[in-house]
A = this chain, B = another copy of it.
Amino acid sequence: MDIEDLPTPSLILERAVVTRNTQRMGARMTEHDVALRPHVKTAKSVPVAKLATLGHSGAITVSTLAEAAYFLAHGFADMTYAVCLAPNKVAAAATLIAQGADLKVIIDSIDAAQAIVGHPGQERFKVLVEIDCGDGRTGLLPDAPDLLNIAQIIDGAPQAELLGVLTHGGHSYGARDIAGIQRIAREEREAVIHAAQRLRDAGLPCPVVSAGSTPTAMHGESYEGITEMRPGVYVFFDLDQLSRQACGPNDLALSVLGTVIAHNRHVGQIVTDTGALAMSKDISATTRWPDAGYGAVCNARTLAPIEGLHVAKVSQEHGIVPVSDPAQYDLLPIGTKIRVLPNHACITASAYTHYEVVDGTEVVDRWERINGW
C-alpha cells in the first residue's frame, strides 16, 4: 500500500531509520563494552524491542507493569522496571516474577524496601537502589546515609537480592548541545559509580551499575565502572532530541500522517487533522526552537520539512498551521497528505495502537504497541 492511502491520522515509522538508530546504539555500547538494556517505554512494541536488543542479551527496561506483562508474553524475560516500586505494586510485580519474569525493581526509600521484604509470597525480588545524579526526579544522593540502610534491608532478607545501583541522567534532555550532554554524562557516571563503591566498601554486593539516557548514551566519553546503559528515545528520536543535538535530522524515525482538511484564508491558516490527540500537547522542542509548535510540517512522501510550516495550535482533532505566503495554500490544497514530526516521540506514540511501518512511500508492515498501565 502507498503511504497516502492510509487513513489519517496514522503513526508512521521509517523502517530504515529505526533499524539504523538501533544498530548504531547497539554497536556503540558494544564498542564501549557496556551492556545495552534499551528502555522500551518509547516504542512499547515487540518488533522494535527485537531490533533494539540485536547483538545484546535481550535485556530490556520497562516503565509500567503493563509493558512488563506484554514483553514477558512475547519472550522478553530479563527486564528492569525503572520507576520506583510503590508498595501497592509489590503484589503485581510478584505475580510477574511467578510467571517467569526475571524482573528487577528499583527503590529509593526504606518504606519501599520494607514493603518488598514484607511481602507474603515466595517470590524473590531483585532490587536496585536508585541514585539521583542531578536529574532531581527520584533517587538518593550518592552520599545519602539511607543508601546503605536500604541496601542492608534488601541484602538481609530472604525474599530479596541486592543487585546494585541505578541512575538516570534525565537532565541531559535539558542540555543545549553536545558539550552540555557530555558534562551530564560525566555527572551521571561519577554519581552512580560512587554509590556502587559505597556499597562495596560496606561489604555489600553490587554486580549491577546501571545508568543511561539517550543523550548520555549517544555522547558520553567514558562508561568505565558502568555495567549497563538504558537509553530509550534513540530508537525514534524526535524534534526535542534534535533541538539539543542528541541526533541529526536524518535520525527521526517517527511522524504523524495527516490531511489538510480546511483553508482558513480569513485568519491565514491551513487546518489539518493532526490535532492534540494525534500529536499530544508536548511542546518540548519549543524551549530551544520557539517555532517548533506542536510539530514540523513535512512533505508526506519525502518527509522533507516544508520551510516555515509548523502546527502552531491544536484543539482535540484540529492542527492549525499558520500561513505567511498565500502560495502555501496552492502547495497544500484541501485533501493533501502531510507528515508532522513530533516534539516527543514517547508521548505522541502513546495515542496509537500500532505503527504503520514504511520503506520510502510503501507501507511494508504494521507493528502493534501496548499502552496503558
Binding site for B on A (CB under 8 A): 7-10, 41, 63-64, 83-89, 92, 108-109, 111-112, 115, 132, 136-139, 141, 144, 170, 259-264, 266-267, 271, 273, 276-278, 280-283, 315-318, 320, 333-335, 337, 346-347, 350-353, 371-373
Contacts and interface: CB of A to CB of B under 8 A. Distances in A.
Contact of A335 (B111, B337, B372, B373): B111
Nearest to A65: B7
A84 B280 contact: no
B350 A109 contact: no
Contact of A111 (B84, B333, B373): B333
Given A273-B86, A281-B281, A64 B317 contact: yes
A264 B136 CA distance: 8
A261 B107 CA distance: 9
| Total copies of this chain within the assembly | 2
Contacts of A278: 373
A144 B263 CA distance: 13
A109 B347 contact: no
Contacts of A92: 7
Contacts of A267: 132, 136
B84 A261 contact: yes
Contact of A86 (B108, B259, B264): B259
Contacts of A108: 262, 264
A332 to B, nearest CB: 12
Contact of A334 (B64, B83, B87, B170): B87
A320 B353 CA distance: 28
A83 B371 CA distance: 26
Contact of A109 (B63, B64, B259, B334): B334
Contacts of A320: 137
Contacts of A139: 264
24 contacts: A7-B89, A7-B92, A7-B373, A8-B86, A83-B273, A83-B317, A83-B318, A84-B262, A85-B261, A86-B335, A108-B262, A108-B264, A111-B334, A111-B335, A132-B267, A136-B267, A137-B315, A137-B318, A138-B261, A138-B262, A141-B266, A276-B347, A277-B347, A278-B373
